[in-house]
Amino acid sequence: MAELMVILLVIAVFVVLLSGFPVAFAYAGTALIFTAIGMQFLPDIFDPDFMATRHNGLYRLMINKTLIAVPLFVFMGVMLERSRVAEKLLDTMGMLFGPLRGGLGISVTLVGMLLAASTGIVGATVVTMGLLSLPTMLKRNYDPRIATGTICASGTLGQIIPPSIILILLGDQLSNEYQNAQLAMGNYSPDVVSITDLFAGALIPGLLLVAMYLLYLIMIAILKPAAMPAIPKGERNLNSKQLFIRVTRALLPPLVLIIAVLGSILVGAATPTEAASVGAIGSILLARVNGQFNLQILREVMQSTVRISSMVFLIFIGALLFSATFRGYGGDEMVSALLSDLPGGKVGAIFVVMLVMFLLGFVLDFIEITLIVVPIVAPVLFMLDVDPIWLGVMIAINLQTSFLTPPFGFSLFYLRGVAPASITTAHLYKGVAPFILLQIIALGLLALWPELATWLPSRI
């Protein structure tokens, strides 16, 4: 009977989500209904003691200083979006790489990397890049498949390149579950996994992905030059000195901001929260330099920050309620037994978890997956001696791949919403296919060589 209630609980949540009900309320409302059913009609199989964990979880949420970084990084990202940083970067990088075949594609990828390190907001990056670069690439006779694939793939780099909101949420969840797993195994002096560790672990795999994207674009430019033509010489009207000045003015401010934020975290000079506050102030200064700052813009950015942050923390609360109800029916024990009994042991368990998360990425945002699924499966994997930093980076790249994969990839919907009518759904699907393959290769490399994620954190 307990197994049936767990299955019904999960099905009920999906039905409510698919009906269009707000995510946070879907999780919280379903959890409360099943809690009432369990306490009233099924006291023999429902353990109400787990509901006490809700209060502890909410209290930990309120006093968790690390999560203050979330609204600060959101503010930073929204402010940079409004300050036309992306527009200046794209124009300048286009001039810099324009003489090369495939130069615009390379520029879009590099700007996507910089925006990922500046904002960490995938949807905003894809939409911004789509509005600014897609018309230009099509005007330059780029193959629509190459153009759309490059924009979608580079826009999702915000999932893996720190500082990323998903890495902050993942780091917080993995840290709590890793300590709990160690305590359950009798280690009463548990190791601590910090968000800084996860940032450091994601840096090399993130740059590896960028390098793979660039190599693919260079290869296409060589093999199919008509698909990625260079900017005509007559339109490149800047001499070397003028180009150097323009590149310096466009690149230096965001690079300084990225180094100040990410560098201070990695060297231990600041916590993620402190670095996020520096980033928020830096984004205001950058907007001021670009002439895109006034009280009206500040008011709009603050309102957007409050809306996004409220959504995140409401989902946090809904996730706490859902997890408590799930555990109350013994769902965590079911998951533990299922993963432990899979053929292949640890490898089989990791494969199944990654597959489930990949499929869930079609219908759920990374926030819901991080706050709902990770607390359920991570303790079981930690009991099997899985490294938490490696696991976090694998999850981030896996979800990034899911968000690119047709027919449900979130990035495809973001770009479809701003693409001109000449761009078909087939263009989008065919364009992202090579990048999905590159993502899978990156996942395979990370699985074979976990040191790609664990080496840098061990050094710093």
SS (H, E, C) the chain: CHHHHHHHHHHHHHHHHHCCCCHHHHHHHHHHHHHHHHHHHCCCCCCHHHHHHHHHHHHHHHHCHHHHHHHHHHHHHHHHHHCCHHHHHHHHHHHHHCCCCCHHHHHHHHHHHHHHHHCCCHHHHHHHHHHHHHHHHHHCCCCHHHHHHHHHHHHHHHHCCCCCHHHHHHHHHHHHHHHHHHHHCCCCCCCCCCHHHHHHHHHHHHHHHHHHHHHHHHHHHHHCHHHCCCCCHHHCCCCHHHHHHHHHHHHHHHHHHHHHHHHHHHCCCCCHHHHHHHHHHHHHHHHHHCCCCCHHHHHHHHHHHHHHHHHHHHHHHHHHHHHHHHHHCCHHHHHHHHHHCCCCHHHHHHHHHHHHHHHHCCCCCHHHHHHHHHHHHHHHHHHCCCCHHHHHHHHHHHHHHHHHCCCCCHHHHHHHHHCCCCCCHHHHHHHHHHHHHHHHHHHHHHHHCCHHHHHHHHHC
Q: What pLDDT sits at residue 5? A: 87
| Ramachandran angles phi, psi of 20, nearest 5° | 95, 5
Q: What is the pLDDT of residue 228?
A: 85
pLDDT at 416: 79
pLDDT, average across residues 42-50: 74
Greater pLDDT, 235 or 310: 310
The set of residues, in sequence order, having a beta carbon less than 8 Å from that of 379 and lying 6+ positions away, is 177, 180, 181, 184, 332, 336
- Provide the pLDDT confidence category of residue 110 given band limits of 50, 70 and 90: confident
Asked if residue 162 has a cis previous peptide bond (ω within 30° of 0), the answer is no
For the stretch 68-79, pLDDT in tens is 888 888 888 788
Averaged over 443-456, what is the pLDDT? 92
Across all residues in the chain, what is the average pLDDT? 82
48-62, 165-179, 260-274, 430-444: lowest mean pLDDT where? 48-62
What pLDDT was estimated at residue 236? 59
pLDDT digits (tens, 9 = 90+) for 335-392: 777 777 777 778 888 888 888 888 887 777 777 788 788 888 888 888 888 888 999 9
Reply yes or no on whether the pLDDT at 107 is more than 70. yes
C-alpha to C-alpha distance for 121 and 161, rounded to whole angstroms: 11
Is 293 within 8 Å of 284 (Cβ atoms)?
yes
Neighbours of 11 (CB within 10 A): 11
Residue 250 has pLDDT above 90, yes or no: no
Sign of the torsion formed by the C-alpha atoms of 296, 299, 303 and 305: positive
Cα 41 to Cα 54: distance, rounded to the nearest angstrom: 21
pLDDT at position 239 is: 67
Whether the per-residue pLDDT at 40 is higher than 90: the answer is no
What share of the chain has pLDDT > 70, as a percent?
Answer: 93
State how far the Cα of 399 lies from the Cα of 19, in Å rounded to an integer: 23
- pLDDT exceeds cutoff 80 at 246: no
Phi-psi category of residue 174: left, alpha or beta, with phi > 0 → left and psi -120 to 50 → alpha: alpha
Please give the model's pTM, rounded to 2 decimal places: 0.83
Tell me which of 57 and 349 has the higher pLDDT. 349
Q: Give the highest mean pLDDT range of 31-35, 180-184, 416-420.
A: 31-35
What gap in Å lies between CA 259 and CA 279, rounded to an integer? 10
- Checking if the pLDDT of 305 tops 80, the result is yes
pLDDT of residue 190: 67
